[in-house]
Amino acid sequence: MKSFFVYEMEYTDALHEMSGIEMIPFHDRYYSQYERIYNECFFDMRKALDIEPYSFLTNIQQIKYKKKNIFLLMYGETIIGSVGCFGTEIDDLIVDKKYQGRGFGKQLLLWAIEHIREYTVGPITLRVAECNQRAVKLYIQNGFVIKKRSAL
């Protein structure tokens, strides 16, 4: 594994913009789609950083304890994207490559902020690899600030 940097980011504002999307809780029947999208979204970064395995998800048991906090954006029976909300932390915000560049990432982020704001006004956190500049830019444009830069 190559060393790389991770930003710890924080959102402390009130809710300024609504997402306008509806999310559903993760359901096991969507796991194969979720696995494909998750692995596609992180494959290039994991390979560039030599983080093996490059396709991390291989079994639903890997998300057994996380799935109750994973939410899906659907079009019929097709996953467009997903986001995890774990307490006050946003994690694994992903959009199927077929739908990227259409604003779904922003909508997922706004939905996650809305969801977390339902039960706290405290800081919302997330972590993102510094090399993932597209995500870093999205987070900054939507009110997150970099609080810490750490080497891994």
Check whether 84 has a pLDDT greater than 90.
Answer: yes
pTM of the entire structure? 0.96
State which amino acid sits at residue 56. F
- Mean predicted confidence (pLDDT) in 13-18: 88
State residue 130's pLDDT score: 95
Element (H, E) at 116: helix 104-117
> Could you tell me the two tokens for 22?
């509806």
pLDDT digits (tens, 9 = 90+) for 87-107: 999 999 999 999 999 999 999
State residue 1's pLDDT score: 82
DSSP 42-56: HHHHHHHTT-SSSS-
State residue 15's pLDDT score: 84
pLDDT over 90 percentage in the chain: 94
Ordered by where they begin, the domains of the chain are 5-151 (3.40.630.30)
CB 152 within 8 A of CB 4: yes
